Chain A
Amino acid sequence: MKWEYMSNKIKVALAGNPNSGKTTLFNALTGSRQHVGNYPGVTVERKETKCKYNGIEITVVDLPGIYSLTPYSIEELVARNFIFQEKPDVIIDVIDSSNLERNLYLAIQFIELDVPLLLVFNMIDEAISKGYHIDIKLLSRLLNTPVVTTVASKGEGIDDIFKTVVALAGNRNQASSSIIKYGKEIDSQINILSDYLLNKNIMNGKYAFKWLAIKLLEEDSEIIQEINKNCDNSEEILSLSSKCRDYLQSFFGEKPERIIGDKRYGFINGLCKETVYLAQEDRISTSEKIDSVLTNRILGIPIFILFMWIVFQLTFTLGNPPMRLIEFCIGSLGRFIAFFMNDGILRSLIVDGVIGGVGGVLVFLPNILLLFLALAVLEDTGYMARVAFIVDKLMHFIGLHGKSFIPLLIGFGCSVPAILGTRTIENRKDRIITILVVPFMSCGARLPVYTLLIGAFFSSAVAGNVLFSIYITGFLLAILMAGIFKKFLFPGESTPFVMELPPYRIPTLKSVIIHMWEHTWLYLQKAGTILLSLSILIWFLTNFPQNITYSKDYENNIKSARENFVINMEPLAQKLNVSIEDIDKNEDIKKIIENLKTLKQSEDAVKQGELLKYQYGELYNLSVNYMELQNYIAGQMEEKQREKLGVSYAGRMGKVLEPFISPLGFDWKIGVALFSGFAAKEVIVSTLGTIYSLEEADENSISLREALKKDKIFSPLVAYTLMIFILIYSPCIATIVVVWKETNSYFWPLFMIFYTICLAWILAFFIYQGGRLLGLN
């Protein structure tokens, strides 16, 4: 293998088993800048950092945590390809010192690559306290590989790592692969194959020949594929390798890959017998004591529910005040800027488009930070694996992995952090299926819409049941769709649940904070920018075109109404000694109008009105007239707004959509509301407010409820159909963008929009048409 090396720059790959403290070590090595991204084409996270040691720039790339170098998991393939394609100067393999046998299994596969390798025996303190005594010097000599011991969480041994890495990078002739013995029979076949490969100089020595020979004996699918693609004499190579395989198969009566695996562990077993001494074999560790409570048959589930409750409350209840604060600050900033700008398109763009868009990005921050805090703690303590352990039976029943549980739970709060939280699921299939069904967990933003519609069309006696039926529909759909996706999108064998239950550990503050910050930053950086541009797009669609010829001259209507008022009321005003120009500043009139407005909603309005009239006399008449003028102006403005929305691009889309949604009992107004719901589900309420010409409508707004009730298009059946539609149809933009970024593909977010809209339509169709047949409309 050729290793390009420049004396002042070193590239290091950091590898190791999951739970070996690799991330902690990475953070301990970390220089000033960390770069987090994905490996090209896959969703595996790639972290990189640069540090300086004695004037040498060392780039450390964090490889995914792996147990072996087979091509059967994305992570292992990514790690392998990285090593062959990017040719790091040194590989550091991090090893959990108290779990040597299994960790060394990966290490000896690295040794076979014949690359400069450093073994880091991490958490050596833990191993010592558990009673292990490891002869490091002997082990290092037997493996012909340098070994450094560290306690990464305390920063111990970091300097030794740098020192050894620099020395290794300068001296790259490490060839230790001959150290590992598979026994006479296998070794002889390896030699036959590797000699052949060496003679033909297969693939110019991209892979170490011995390693390539072993991979051929193991029938490594990726390697065979590559040989088929790149070698002219591939048939010859493969026939030789199958001859060797056949020989071994007949000799051992077992597949060669199985024997090779056995022999590797056998080799390690021998190695450990010589170098590791364990004081007391069967001692019950503290971790095991903790686990006997946390995954206890009886206590396990209540404790689990308690922890999940804490995670949910932490994310949403604790996240709520800072969220409100962010909303308030964004709102204030908007008003502040609006104050200094003239009314117009630029102001609307800045206030509604840009600031609104930034707000839409920032508003998720508290939730995301807190969720990742919780996830980091669960992951670093080791409880996350127990979550999967406890709920796996349940989740496996619906075709998912135990680790899908937390994202689904978080989905009831908000899909955005939930989808970011699927990062804890290692398997890509399980991760994508979980992402696809998360939006069915009805999120917090949809609740205001339900509240509005249920409040308007259902009595308080059934309101709770109606709401519950919506949530349960979403939950059942998630189960159903997960099953369908598993069967049709990802057929084949289900994901193995071969999962390590790592010992419980106390997480370090540093690693929790880094974990939390990294994911939040990733969200801001990736999703934030796109989200902002899409909010501006939606603002554009609902505000343009600008130059509309209105059906009525609203401005003129308002102007003449005002003039008429002045002409008619001037004498009365003069008589009462009220300036008609400053009528809006008159305290008495203000008070009367305020009183009148509250009257409208109470029972004995007429009687109270008479009382006011009696009290204020002619001033009352003036006030009533002025109030009527105010109402007229507001009505004209709102009508104008509604007409504007009607001809806006969004409105036109609503009208174009009408034929498609009329079988569901919806009209173009609902179409526009649904379209706006694409920005964020709660926006549906304010859009309906605009359409029904009500300022500042929220879900508790009585007038909006009344307006909906008055509209003939609505009935309880249509309202219910609409709620089901809103539950299912396309998730909001923020979710879509996060799905795009997390799956690293256009396909999944587009598929998600498409299938949810189809599903929403079909279900809504059956509910509406079925309801009509039953005479419910």
Chain B
Amino acid sequence: MRTLLDLKTGEKAIVKKITGYSLIHRRLLDMGIVSGTCVQLVKSAPLGDPLEFKIKGYHLSLRKSEASTVEIM
């Protein structure tokens, strides 16, 4: 299973689904991480975590633990 964590800097991928149903996942959905959306890893923070993604034309930052719950194709 490939997740957002497997992306290299600058790489793009299509979201397959979010695994999990807690508050965090509800929030991810509201922020536009839905199946079929294109996500690009822009960079990681200077200390390595969190990560910055580009999605639907804006920039979103997620912790690694959160990014790992988003499955990509």
Contact = CB atoms under 8 A, between A and B. Distances in A.
A498 B24 contact: yes
B30 A392 contact: no
Given A390-B46, A393-B47, A493-B22, A265 B59 contact: no
Contacts of B56: 99, 101-102
Nearest to B37: A265
Contact of A72 (B27, B43, B60): B27
B61 A389 contact: yes
A513 to B, nearest CB: 28
Interface string A249-293: 000001101100110011000000000000000000000100110
Given A297-B46, A393-B47, A493-B22, A498 B57 contact: no
B1 interface: no
Contacts of B21: 255, 258
A101 B32 contact: yes
Interface in B24-65: 24, 26-32, 34-37, 42-50, 52, 56-63
B28 A498 contact: yes
Contact of B50 (A67, A304, A389): A389
Contacts of B32: 101-102, 105, 265
Contacts, number: 117
B29 A261 contact: yes
Contacts of B34: 261-262, 265-266
A394 B21 CA distance: 27
Contacts of B52: 295, 389, 501
A444 B73 CA distance: 55
A396 interface: yes
A497 B65 CA distance: 10
Given A68-B30, A101-B56, A295-B52, A496 B47 contact: no
A301 B46 contact: yes
B58 A99 contact: yes
Contact of B61 (A288, A296, A304, A501): A501
A393 B50 contact: yes
A22 B58 CA distance: 17
A271 to B, nearest CB: 13
A70 interface: yes
A105 B30 contact: yes
A421 to B, nearest CB: 21
Interface residues of B, number: 36
Interface string A61-73: 0000001101010
A70 B63 contact: no
The binding surface of chain A is classed by DSSP as helix
B30 A261 contact: yes
Interface in A92-148: 98-102, 105
A496 B66 contact: yes
B69 to A, nearest CB: 10
A501 B45 contact: no
B4 interface: no
Contacts of A72: 23, 26-27
Interface in A36-80: 67-68, 70, 72
Give the interface size class of chain A: 35 or more
Contacts of B58: 99, 102, 500, 502
Contacts of B49: 392-393, 396
Contacts of B27: 67, 72, 496, 498
Contact of B47 (A254, A394, A499, A500): A394
Contacts of A292: 43
B47 to A, nearest CB: 4
A295 B46 contact: yes
B31 A389 contact: no
Nearest to B57: A99
B72 interface: no
Given A102-B31, A392-B50, A501 B63 contact: no
A301 B56 CA distance: 28
Nearest to A300: B46
Contact of A497 (B29, B37, B61): B61
B1 to A, nearest CB: 17
A98 B57 CA distance: 8
Contacts of A394: 47
A497 B47 contact: no
A122 to B, nearest CB: 15
Nearest to B54: A288
B66 A497 contact: yes
Nearest to B46: A300
Contacts of A389: 45, 50, 52, 61
B66 A498 contact: yes
Q: In the complex, which of the residues B21, B42, B61, B63 has the most CB atoms of chain A within 10 Å of its own CB atom?
A: B61
A498 B31 contact: yes
Contacts of A98: 57
A390 B23 contact: no
A296 B46 contact: yes
Nearest to B51: A389
Contacts of B26: 70, 72, 257
A392 B45 CA distance: 9
A301 B21 CA distance: 35
Interface in A494-510: 496-503
Contacts of A503: 59
B37 to A, nearest CB: 7
10 contacts: A67-B27, A70-B26, A258-B29, A295-B43, A385-B61, A394-B47, A396-B63, A493-B22, A498-B31, A500-B58
Interface of B: 17-18, 21-24, 26-32, 34-37, 42-50, 52, 56-63, 66
Given A101-B56, A102-B56, A497-B66, 14 more contacts: A72-B23, A102-B32, A255-B21, A262-B35, A300-B45, A301-B47, A385-B61, A389-B45, A392-B50, A493-B22, A496-B66, A497-B61, A499-B61, A501-B60
Nearest 9 interchain pairs by C-beta:
A68-B30, A300-B46, A501-B59, A496-B24, A393-B47, A261-B29, A101-B56, A393-B49, A265-B34
